[in-house]
Amino acid sequence: MNLAGKVAIIAGGASGLGRRTAEFFVQSRNAKVVVFDLDDRAASELRDTLGERSLACLHVDLSDERQVAQGVADAVARFGAVHVSVNCAAVPGPMRIVDRELKASNCRRFADTIAVNLIGAFNLMAHAAAQMARNEPGEDLERGVVINVASGAAFEGQSGQSAYAASKAGVVGLSLPAARELSRYGIRVNSIAPGLFDTPMARSVGADALDALTAVVQFPNRPGDPQEFARLCAHICENAYFNGACIRLDGAARLPPR
């Protein structure tokens, strides 16, 4: 898919990996972008940077299906179609299964994490795909591309990451069955499992934890540049043979137990 003139919804697009992807799609690929995010201030700053002709920002909670449905409808009303969906929105949801007093943890945090990271991914994919299926087919009869963001934790979840790891493993598990089901409409579905990237979320863990995470990155031995993530998103869109896959983008890092 040639991204020039195409319309992409980027959830979590006001900061971190989503923001850099929104910037890259607009500035390097001449696409139109609709950001779904709950941080209105950051979204407004991004809109000031990229301009209202190329970017729209909507306050959308992915765990609320009605908000997602309305957001997709508003994106179509603003730019006329939806061709690409990139879901970068997530919450970390750290929790213990059994607390320090040997009591079973309340499952509320687990459920809340699943609601945003996994159910939210399904909500956006489903409503975006319903619009993509209405697009005029392009080369290879393609109508749309879905990219969901997983994590290395989907494969090597650390202690205290049960909710986050389970939600991201679910995102990985969505890729192939969704790609198979949506192929009849010319829609491709892939996921990316990023490792450590230089984002506000990564920096929030503190210097010591960040150093420990960087130490397991094999090569290059550094956090990823969000530009590298954005370029991969663009390449997935532009390479029609990417389908039903989960791509690890992590410098060969593998998370230790703690």
Q: Which of 25, 79, 164, 197 is catalytic?
A: 164
DSSP for residue 104: B
164 in catalytic set: yes
At a CB cut-off of 8 Å and minimum separation 6, what does 1 contact? 83, 84, 138, 139, 142, 145, 237, 238, 240
Per-residue burial over 131-164, b if 16 or more Cβ lie within 10 Å, else e, is: bbeebeeeeeebbbbbbbbbbbbbbebbeebbbb
Q: Are 113 and 167 in contact (CB under 8 A)?
A: yes
Containing 56, the helix (H) or strand (E) segment is strand 55-59
Q: What is the DSSP string of 195-219?
A: -SBSSHHHHTT-HHHHHHHHHT--S
b/e map 75-94, b = 16+ CB within 10 Å? bbeebebbbbbbbbbbbbbe
Helix (H, G, I), strand (E, B) or coil at 245: coil
Q: Which long-range contacts (CB under 8 A, 24 or more apart) does 172-178 make?
A: 172/246, 174/121, 174/122, 174/125, 174/148, 175/148, 175/244, 175/245, 175/246, 176/244, 178/125, 178/146
Cα gap 167→243, rounded to integer Å: 21
E strands, 77-136, where? 84-87
Which residues are known to be catalytic? 164
